[in-house]
Amino acid sequence: MKKTMCELFAGVGGFRVGMERLGTGWKTTWFSQWEPDKVNQWAHDCYVDHFGDLQDLRGEYHTGEDISLMDKNAIPDHNLLVGGFPCQDYSVAHTLASSHGIEGKKGVLWWQIRDTIIAKTPAFCIFENVDRLLKSPASQRGRDFGIILACLASLNYSVEWRVVNAATYGAAQRRRRTFIFAYRNDTVYGKNMVGVSPVDVLSKSGFMVQAFPIVANTDIASGTLGEYETDEDIINISDNFVFAFNKAGYMHEGKIYTCDISENEIQPILIKQILQENVDEEFYITEDKKPKWVYLKGAKKIPRKTKDGHEYTFSEGPVAFPDPWDRPGRTMLTSESTLNRSTHVVTDPGSGRLRLLTPIEAERLQGFDDDWTNSGMPKRMRYFCMGNALVVPMITRMGEVLDGIMANEEP
């Protein structure tokens, strides 16, 4: 089987970088990256700067446009569909238009993935999302992920998932994300997995446990999606489905198996290993700003009142200030480098002064090459793009397992 890939919600190309680092011949046939309501499409331009643009099957360029406007049948064929799609409201509206099928309340981007799968039927899919996807929304735990699983099941796919802390598997950042691996049931791999017990899938022979080894897992809980074949079934799941998804799991033909796991930890990269020395003056914290930083990073108990007059105390614990050298970085957000509680503050190894991370250090936290985003975009956007990115070495780990699977597929 040809190693061809399509990357949706591509950002600055993290999935593509991770797969191409394998050096095993992966070819990207198309990608899409579009930031809503932005005049400058910095991430798209960074992607093109590294890899060039790609035409669709009509010979047209639409990679930097709203994916919802794209004719999915015009996307070039591929055997692997990937994407780090945004976490939004996945609930289903109750109005069905025959020409459009089901739609999320906010036109969420999962439906664009679903439409792409319907049009192109890729053999395999790998998706990335925040860890809270498994438990959202708070009012109906597990509904959002249940909708995703039901959509994939209805399209003849089985699914594995795992919540991964990147630092646990050797990266420089304590970033927790949900990775989803889906495979078409009529592939060689899909047929071979039919006889494998859920226990073995989750603890020994499945895709995720090979990419992210474990030392133990808890008892496996099970459940079912119920009916999922029609749009009306998906709406019913949106309205009623509740399930306690855990960190690891497997879904086949609507049956769900999930458990907690203990990871086989790998020595992470520490902050001190990614730091530059004696950086430019612009990154240092000035004396007049230090009290504000101390306040933001410190513990707080703040009296507050709701609109209806209810009084309560807002509390939060302290954040290390500065960030210690002997740990991996915290989760980097799109607000990195701004004056806020989540921004990393480190002691410069050369000058000994407190400062922000440089754009290069932000890229290192995510596992990109130095200056990956140094393609003409403003510094602020370099941090923003890294806060939106995924940890590249985690993709390479999964790619190694997928390479072995692809080798057994028919041409």
Return the axis-axis angle of helices 231-240 and 143-154, rounded to nearest 10°.
160
What backbone torsions phi and psi does residue 323 show, to the nearest 5 degrees?
-65, 130
Preceding amide of 213 cis, omega within 30: no
Q: Kindly give, in sequence order, each residue whose CB lies less than 8 Å from that of residue 178, ignoring residues fewer than 6 positions away.
A: 128, 129, 130, 131, 133, 134, 161, 162, 163, 164
Instruction: Report which of 189, 187, 168 is spatially closest to residue 177, judged by C-alpha positions.
Output: 168
Q: What is the DSSP string of 53-106?
A: ----TTS---TTS-GGGS-GGGSPP-SEEEE--------B-S--BTTTB--BTT
Burial degree of 83 (CB within 10 A; 0-12, 13-18, 19+): buried
DSSP H or E segment with residue 22: none
Neighbours of 118 (CB within 10 A): 14
| Bridge partner list, 346 | 355
Separation of alpha carbons 289 and 24, rounded Å = 49
Per DSSP, the residues of 191-211 read: HHHTTS-HHHIIIIISHHHHH
Give the whole-angstrom CA distance, residue 65 versus residue 5.
19
Comparing CA positions, the residue from 47, 9, 19, 255 lying closest to residue 124 is 19
Q: Are 185 and 153 in contact (CB under 8 A)?
A: no
Q: Which of the residues 87, 125, 259, 385 is marked catalytic?
A: 87
Identify whether 87 is a catalytic site residue.
Answer: yes
The dihedral region occupied by 109, where left means phi > 0, alpha psi between -120 and 50, and beta the remainder, is alpha
Helix axes 379-388 and 359-366, enclosed angle (nearest 10): 10
**296 DSSP β-pair partners:** none
Active site members: 87
